[in-house]
Structure 1
Amino acid sequence: MADDLKVLSDLKSKFAHYDDYQRCLTDLSRAIVEINRINKESAGKDEIGTAYHQQVDKPTENLTETLAYISKRLGTVVEAGNETSDTMAKSDEEAGSQADGF
């Protein structure tokens, strides 16, 4: 069992950059959606177009799925970090209030 539970005073700021990362991933996702749209409309339906899509479509889908997975996980980290920070701040406030009562 831990002797002391310590909370960094700047805990919330430690997670601040994760919001920036998530925004970057959202921007990247939008760009990939546009690339996918252009890709689906390009190369035609002839033999060359079919060969093109056989080579390009699946890796593009995998990239889209991977990015969505990373974005979701990053969002979970941001939420958990903010919730932890808020909980710890409330605990500190409550402990301070109870200590003032003695």
Structure 2
Amino acid sequence: MAEFKATAEMGSAFSKYPEMSALLLRMQGRVHEIDGFNTNAAGHDEIGNTYFETVDPPTKGLLKMLGQVSKIAEKAGHNGQSAAKLFVRTDDDLTSGV
């Protein structure tokens, strides 16, 4: 039976996804930090309020996106590694005649 050559590569490729997920969460933390700096620096006068009206919506969108992409990367990594293990087991079963 022909061996599925991409199996080993698939497992190693998906092994990096948890690291990507953690990096995205760190990025989200830094955006929170920047948002805090903005809140403290811009003030709450008319100019500050105008600034917040402009900056707050995209900042919240960025925070949400980073969180969602982090969760997706984590799930993709877990599911990809599970699929790779399944392919290895299937290949082993096929080659051993089970």
Q: TM-score range by the shorter chain?
A: 0.7 to 0.9
Q: How far 1:92 sits from its partner (Å)?
A: 3.8
- Equivalenced residue count is 96
Residues 2-81 of structure 1 mapped to structure 2, 5 A cutoff = 6=4, 8-10=6-8, 11-81=10-80
Residues 12-61 of structure 1 deviation map (CA, whole Å, 9 limit, x = unaligned): 11212323322221221111111122222331111111111111111111
Structure 1 segments, 4+ long, off by >6 Å, are none
Q: Which 10-residue stretch deviates more, 88-97 or 33-42?
A: 88-97
Structure holding more helix per residue: 2
Structure 1 stretches of 5 or more lacking a match? none
Q: How far 1:93 sits from its partner (Å)?
A: 4.3
If you compute each CA radius of gyration, which structure gives the higher value, 1 or 2? 1
Structure 2 stretches of 5 or more lacking a match? none
Q: TM-score, normalised by structure 1?
A: 0.74
State the secondary structure of the residue aligned to 2:16.
helix
- RMSD, matched Cα: 2.4
